[in-house]
C-alpha cells in the first residue's frame, strides 16, 4: 500500500504518526521558505501517476471518520431533529442535508491539516498563537466539550428512565453515567481499533432502532424526498426559523474539528511522499463522506418520523391516545389543551409508545442510550487532544474523564433532582445554542492554517474552498447574532444586561482577533505586526524574535 498502513496501537493511546522533519521559519512574503516542508515534497514538481481505488486501503483508513460522525448523532442532535419534525414537518429536511454538507467541509479541512502537517489543530495553534489567545481558545473548546458531555449525561438519564418505566429517577440515571466512565476506560485498554469497532456498533444500534421507528411510522416517501431536495418552507414563521438555525448549531460541533485533525494521525503516512499524502487525504475524505451519509440517514429517520406522525398534533390529541394505550401511565405529562404538542427526547419516546406500542418506546430509549454513550468517548478523546495540543499537558485517560465528567454531572444532577424532565431537556436546547456560539473558535483557526501556503504547500485551500469556508463562517456568525437577538428580550431584568454586555464585548473582540490573524494567513501581510508576522511562515523550528517568554 505504498508505505501507508495502520500503526500499531498499544495500550489504547494515540498511535504515532511520522512527523514532518525540518520545519523552519521563513521570511514573510517569500512564499514557501526552504526547509519548511519535507525536501521530497519540494524537490520534484511532477506527481507520479495516482494508483487506482483500493478497498483495502479504504478499510485501513476507516475509523477516524466514524468516530468523528458520532458528534452528528448525540442526544442534542436527536432532540433538534424531532423538534424540527414536530414543528415544521418535512419542510426543513433540506436544512439537515446542507448542514451535514457544511459539517463535511469543515471536517475536510481538519483531515487535510492533520495529514499534511502531522500535527493536530491544537498543536498547530500552540505553534502560532501567543499565550493568551491560545489559552482562551483552549478554554472555549473545553466549555464545548463539557457541554457535549452534559448532553450525554442528559440522554443517558432519560434513556434509563424510559427503559425502567420511571423506576429509575432522573438523578439516578445521571449518577449511573459514572459507571460508563469506568467501562470506557476498560475498553480503552484494548486499543484504538477495538474502540473504533465499538463506535461502529453504537452507530449500528442507532441506525437499527431509529430505522425501526421509520418503518413503523411509514412517512410519505414522496414528501420526504421533496423536503430533502427542494429548499422551501412555505408558511414558515419565527418558530420554524429558530428550528432551522438550531439544526446548524446542533450538527457542527467545535471540538469535533480538533478531534478529527488528531484522529487522522493514528494512520501512518510517509509525509515525504506526495502521493501518499494525497492518497491519505482522499481515503480519509471518502470515509468521512460515508460516515456522514450514515449519520444523515439516522437524523433523517428521526426528523421524518416526527414530521409524519406528530406534525401539528395538539396536547389533547396526544393525551387521548396515551390514556387508551399500553403506556397510559405517561398520559398526565401532556396538558389537556389544544396547544401544539411540544416534544423532546423524553416526550418523543412516550409519544411513540402511545401511538405505536410500548416496543417503539423501548427501542427509542435504546437508540438514545447508544447516542448518549457514544458522546462521552468522543468528548474524552477531544479533551485529551486539545489539552495536549494547547497546553502541552498529558493527563491519563482516567484523570481526563474525571475532569470532564465532574463538570458535566454537578449541574445536571442538581437540575434532575430538584426540577422535572422538561428543565433537563430545556438544558439540552441551551447546550445546542452554546455549541453554535463556540463554533467560530474552531472554524476560524482551521481555515487560517489550511490557507497558509508556507504550511500546507500544494495542499493549501483553493479559491473555491476559501470562499465556501468564508461563507460558512459568515453563516455561523449570522446564526449566533440571531440567537443573541432573540435571547436578550427573555432576560427580563435589566441587571442581566451589564454582565451580558461584557461577555458579548469579549466574544466579539476575540472573534475579531481570530479574523485578523486569518486575514494575515490569507496574504494580507500589511496587517501583520510583531509576533503575528509568524502567520506568514511555515512551522518554526525555533522561536522567532519577540516570542521569548510567551509560551
Q: CA nearest 158: which of 6, 330, 10, 334?
A: 330
Plot region of 85 (φ>0 → left; ψ -120 to 50 → alpha; else → beta): alpha
pTM of the full predicted structure? 0.82
Q: For 407-416, 419-428, 453-462, 509-518, which range has the lowest pLDDT when averaged over its residues?
A: 419-428
Q: What is the dihedral of CA 473, 479, 484, 485, to 10 degrees?
A: 130
How far apart, in whole angstroms, are the C-alpha atoms of residue 401 and residue 418?
A: 26
Q: Are 299 and 81 in contact (CB under 8 A)?
A: yes
Find the mean pLDDT for residues 504-518.
92
Q: Are 528 and 28 in contact (CB under 8 A)?
A: yes
Q: pLDDT (tens digit, 9 = 90+) per residue, 355-385?
A: 888 899 999 999 988 888 777 777 777 887 8
- Encode 262-278: b = buried (16+ Cβ within 10 Å), e = exposed: bbbbbbbbbbbbbbbbb
What was the pLDDT predicted at 447? 93
Is 44 in a helix, a strand, or coil?
A: coil
pLDDT of 486 strictly over 60: yes
What was the pLDDT predicted at 455? 87
Residues 6+ apart with CB under 8 A from 2: 51, 273, 275, 276, 279
Find the mean pLDDT for residues 456-476.
86
Is 407 in a helix, a strand, or coil?
A: helix
pLDDT band, very low/low/confident/very high, at 540 (cuts 50, 70, 90): low
How far apart, in whole angstroms, are the C-alpha atoms of residue 455 and residue 536?
A: 9
Q: Are 429 and 422 in contact (CB under 8 A)?
A: no
What was the pLDDT predicted at 21? 36
Cα torsion angle, 284, 286, 287, 293, sign = positive
Q: pLDDT (tens digit, 9 = 90+) per residue, 120-143?
A: 999 999 989 998 999 999 999 988
Q: Are 63 and 266 in contact (CB under 8 A)?
A: yes
Find the mean pLDDT for residues 160-167.
86
Q: Are 116 and 456 in contact (CB under 8 A)?
A: yes
What was the pLDDT predicted at 346? 87
Distances (CA, A) of 534 to 124, 170, 455, 518: 12, 51, 11, 12
Is 165 in a helix, a strand, or coil?
A: coil
Helix (H) or strand (E) holding 352: helix 345-356
Q: CA nearest 61: which of 264, 292, 241, 254?
A: 264
Q: CA nearest 302: which of 421, 206, 436?
A: 206
What was the pLDDT predicted at 419? 67
Query: 6 - beta bridge partners?
Result: 267
Q: Are 67 and 143 in contact (CB under 8 A)?
A: no
Q: What's the grid cell of residue 148?
A: 457535549
Q: CA nearest 135: which of 126, 146, 147?
A: 126
What was the pLDDT predicted at 357? 87
What was the pLDDT predicted at 548? 36
pLDDT of 546 strictly over 60: no
What was the pLDDT predicted at 420? 65
pLDDT of 318 strictly over 50: yes
Q: For 177-186, 235-244, 288-297, which range has the lowest pLDDT when averaged over its residues?
A: 177-186
pLDDT of 44 strictly over 60: no
Residue tagged 474502540 (cell numbers): 195
pLDDT of 108 strictly over 90: yes
Helix (H) or strand (E) holding 483: helix 463-487
Distances (CA, A) of 441 to 246, 473, 507: 18, 10, 10
pLDDT of 304 strictly over 90: yes
Helix (H) or strand (E) holding 5: strand 5-6
3-state SS track over 218-278: CCCHHHHHHHHHCCCCCCCCHHHHHHHHHHHHHHCCHHHHHHHHHHHHHEECCCCCHHHHH
Residue tagged 446564526 (cell numbers): 479
The length of the chain is 551
Find the mean pLDDT for residues 58-72.
88
Is 4 in a helix, a strand, or coil?
A: coil
Q: CA nearest 451: which of 463, 442, 440?
A: 463
Q: Are 385 and 258 in contact (CB under 8 A)?
A: yes
pLDDT of 4 strictly over 50: no
Helix (H) or strand (E) holding 538: none
Q: What's the grid cell of residue 101?
A: 454538507
Q: Are 243 and 88 in contact (CB under 8 A)?
A: yes
What was the pLDDT predicted at 97? 93
How far apart, in whole angstroms, are the C-alpha atoms of residue 341 and residue 455?
A: 53
What was the pLDDT predicted at 281? 92
Amino acid at each position: 500500500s505504498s508505505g501507508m498502513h495502520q500503526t500499531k496501537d498499544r495500550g489504547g493511546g494515540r498511535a504515532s504518526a511520522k512527523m514532518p522533519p525540518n520545519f523552519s521559519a521563513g521570511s514573510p512574503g517569500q512564499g514557501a521558505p526552504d526547509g519548511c516542508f519535507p525536501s521530497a515534497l519540494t524537490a520534484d514538481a511532477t506527481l507520479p501517476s495516482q494508483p487506482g481505488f483500493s478497498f483495502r486501503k479504504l478499510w485501513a483508513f476507516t475509523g477516524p471518520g466514524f468516530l468523528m460522525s458520532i458528534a452528528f448523532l448525540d442526544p442534542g442532535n436527536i432532540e433538534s431533529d424531532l423538534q424540527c419534525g414536530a414543528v415544521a414537518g418535512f419542510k426543513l429536511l433540506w436544512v439537515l442535508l446542507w448542514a451535514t454538507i457544511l459539517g463535511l467541509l469543515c471536517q475536510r479541512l481538519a483531515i487535510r491539516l492533520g495529514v499534511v502537517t502531522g500535527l493536530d489543530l491544537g498543536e498547530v495553534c500552540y505553534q502560532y498563537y501567543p499565550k493568551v489567545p491560545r489559552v482562551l481558545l483552549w478554554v472555549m473548546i473545553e466549555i464545548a466539550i463539557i457541554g457535549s458531555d452534559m448532553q450525554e449525561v442528559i440522554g443517558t438519564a432519560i434513556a434509563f428512565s424510559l427503559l425502567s418505566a420511571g423506576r429509575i429517577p432522573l438523578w439516578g440515571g445521571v449518577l449511573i453515567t459514572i459507571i460508563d466512565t469506568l467501562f470506557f476506560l476498560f475498553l480503552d485498554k484494548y486499543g484504538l481499533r477495538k474502540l473504533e469497532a465499538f463506535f461502529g456498533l453504537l452507530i449500528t444500534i442507532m441506525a437499527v432502532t431509529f430505522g425501526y421507528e421509520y418503518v413503523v411510522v411509514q412517512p410519505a416517501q414522496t414528501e420526504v424526498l421533496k423536503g430533502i431536495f427542494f429548499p422551501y418552507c412555505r408558511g414558515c414563521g419565527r418558530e420554524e426559523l429558530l428550528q432551522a438555525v438550531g439544526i446548524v448549531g446542533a450538527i457542527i460541533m467545535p471540538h469535533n474539528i480538533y478531534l478529527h485533525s488528531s484522529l487522522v494521525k493514528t494512520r501512518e503516512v510517509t509525509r515525504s511522499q506526495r502521493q501518499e499524502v494525497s492518497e491519505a487525504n482522499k481515503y480519509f475524505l471518502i470515509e468521512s463522506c460515508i460516515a456522514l451519509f450514515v449519520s444523515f440517514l439516522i437524523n433523517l429517520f428521526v426528523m421524518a418520523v416526527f414530521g409524519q406522525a406528530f406534525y401539528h398534533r395538539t396536547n389533547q390529541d396526544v393525551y387521548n391516545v396515551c390514556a387508551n394505550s399500553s403506556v397510559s401511565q405517561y398520559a398526565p405529562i401532556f396538558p389537556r389543551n389544544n396547544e401544539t404538542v411540544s416534544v423532546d427526547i423524553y416526550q418523543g419516546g412516550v409519544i411513540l409508545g402511545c401511538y405505536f406500542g410500548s416496543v417503539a418506546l423501548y427501542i427509542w430509549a435504546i437508540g438514545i442510550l447508544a447516542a448518549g454513550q457514544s458522546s462521552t468517548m468522543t468528548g474524552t478523546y477531544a479533551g485529551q487532544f486539545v489539552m495536549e495540543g494547547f497546553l502541552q499537558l498529558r493527563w491519563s485517560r482516567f484523570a481526563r474523564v474525571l475532569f470532564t465528567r465532574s463538570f458535566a454531572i454537578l449541574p445536571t444532577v442538581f437540575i434532575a433532582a430538584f426540577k422535572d424532565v422538561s428543565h433537563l431537556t430545556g438544558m439540552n436546547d441551551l447546550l445546542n445554542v452554546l455549541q453554535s456560539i463556540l463554533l467560530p473558535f474552531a472554524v476560524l483557526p482551521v481555515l487560517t492554517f489550511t490557507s497558509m501556503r508556507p504550511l500546507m504547500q500544494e495542499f493549501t485551500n483553493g479559491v473555491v474552498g476559501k470562499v465556501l469556508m468564508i461563507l460558512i463562517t459568515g453563516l455561523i456568525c449570522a446564526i449566533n447574532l440571531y440567537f443573541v437577538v432573540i435571547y436578550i428580550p427573555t432576560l427580563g431584568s435589566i441587571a442581566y444586561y451589564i454582565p451580558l454586555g461584557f461577555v458579548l464585548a469579549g466574544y466579539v473582540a476575540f472573534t475579531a482577533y481570530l479574523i485578523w490573524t486569518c486575514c494575515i494567513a490569507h496574504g494580507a501581510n500589511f496587517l501583520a505586526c510583531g509576533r503575528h508576522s509568524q502567520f506568514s511562515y511555515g512551522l518554526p523550528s525555533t522561536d522567532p524574535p519577540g516570542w521569548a517568554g510567551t509560551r
